[in-house]
Amino acid sequence: MSNISLFPSGNLVRVTSHGPFRGLKGTIRQVDAIVDDLEDPFCFYLIDLERASIAEAIWFEYHEVEFIGIPHLNMSSSTPSGNTGKKQGTFA
């Protein structure tokens, strides 16, 4: 049994399969793995794609995506504490 790294939810990936989504980046929303003692784990990723023509997340097999990074945390934000991040109107 070979070691297959499973990517956790929240990681950024790129679609490498041949098809209409090839080259698109996205975020893993869910991981479903089928584990059998006789074979390597078989894994599916539910990916929320960026700039895709459809709004729903799409399932891909583990060999159809590659890891490209973890989400960036915006630590340099200058918003005051308690701000929910929603756009606020300006007052004169």
Which has the higher per-residue pLDDT, 83 or 43?
43
Kindly report the backbone phi and psi dihedral angles of residue 12, in degrees, each rounded to the nearest multiple of 5, phi listed first: -90, 135
User: What is the model's pLDDT at position 23?
Assistant: 95
Half-sphere exposure of 33 toward its Cβ, with a 13 Å CA cutoff?
13
Q: What is the pLDDT of residue 4?
A: 60
Q: Distance (Å, rounded) from C-alpha 14 to C-alpha 16?
A: 6
pTM of structure: 0.69
What is the pLDDT at residue 35? 77
What percentage of the chain exceeds 90 in pLDDT? 48
The per-residue pLDDT for range 22-67, each reduced to its tens digit, is 999 999 999 998 877 666 778 999 999 999 888 899 999 999 999 9
